[in-house]
Amino acid sequence: MSGKDKRGFSLVEVMVVASTVSVVMAVTIPAMNTARSRARAIVCRSNLRQLVLANIGYSNDHDGYYVSAAEDLCNPIALLQGGLCRWHGKRTGPDAPFDPLKGPLVGYLANGKIKECPERVDFSKSQDGMINFERGCGGYGYNMNFLGSRLWCSGITTYAAMIKAYVKTTNAMEVKRTAETLMFADTAFFQDNQYLIEYSFAEPPHYVMSGITDTAFSSPSIHFRHYGSANVGWADGHVEAKPMAKPVLRDGYTSEMAKMNIGWFEPVDNTLFDLE
């Protein structure tokens, strides 16, 4: 081949190739990110199912009673330190993280630990217990009001009765609609309107105390981190994704919480938390 036949790419050809590559990248990168997010959501659902099965296993070994969500939350001594016991672990003080290997479900989970939600959530890393008071639950919350306590029962008229209501929990035989009673879910809490923190409890829209449902709305903690959906583990063992309900700003629900994808799913009442 003579020197006259040798030639490189023209500027136009290089620009066409670069433009084509850019278009391909623009199409494939979002698709890859979506696929990865869906994969993380699947792992999250597996984590929640393990938590539900662990709690069912716990109840089988404890005369049908589920694990306590926070057995010392109302204890006057432990209360000064924010409570030292949770369903997912124990801690030595208010600024210490919960140790999952000392939690009540340790014998029912692989490696004894609560697995963290794989979705990348910008949870606060603060060591200050006044800010980050629930770290260690992996981004998951438990239905304390109706399963992890007996706050829903009537007759809680004294402080001593309230302490007992946090210690003794619901029996599996009392759950009438296991497929429609939330046990665990993706959760988070917007602390001080500036910190997104892990939160141990899946709060129903309305608080319940001594058999009375408050008409005001509570502060939500369900976190819709998977493309607008939250994974929910039900008392019968199945797990599903629930889309976020349209935010209705009232009582404890703020626009800042809505922007952080914290809210409730439909129906926005206690139907899917309650035992009835």
Per-10-residue mean pLDDT for the chain, 276 residues long?
57 63 56 67 94 97 97 74 88 88 93 86 89 91 97 90 93 97 97 91 91 85 95 97 86 82 94 93
Q: Is 106 among the domain residues?
A: yes
DSSP 171: B
Helix (H, G, I), strand (E, B) or coil at 201: strand
Cβ neighbours around 162 below 10 Å, total:
17
Q: Is 270 among the domain residues?
A: no
Distance CA 144, CA 91 (A): 19
Q: Is 64 among the domain residues?
A: yes
Distance CA 74, CA 156 (A): 13
Q: What is the 3-state secondary structure (H, E, C) of 140-185?
A: EEECCCCCCCCCCCCCCCCHHHHHHHHHCCCEHHHCCCHHHCEEEE
Q: Is 2 among the domain residues?
A: no
Q: Is 103 among the domain residues?
A: yes
Encode burial over 223-246: b for 16+ CB neighbours within 10 A, e otherwise: bbbbeebbbbbbbeeebebbebbe
Q: Is 1 among the domain residues?
A: no
Q: Is 273 among the domain residues?
A: no
Number of domains in the chain: 1
DSSP 179: G
Residue 25, pLDDT score: 55
Q: Is 148 among the domain residues?
A: yes
Domain of residue 69, residue span: 8-263
Residue 31, pLDDT score: 47
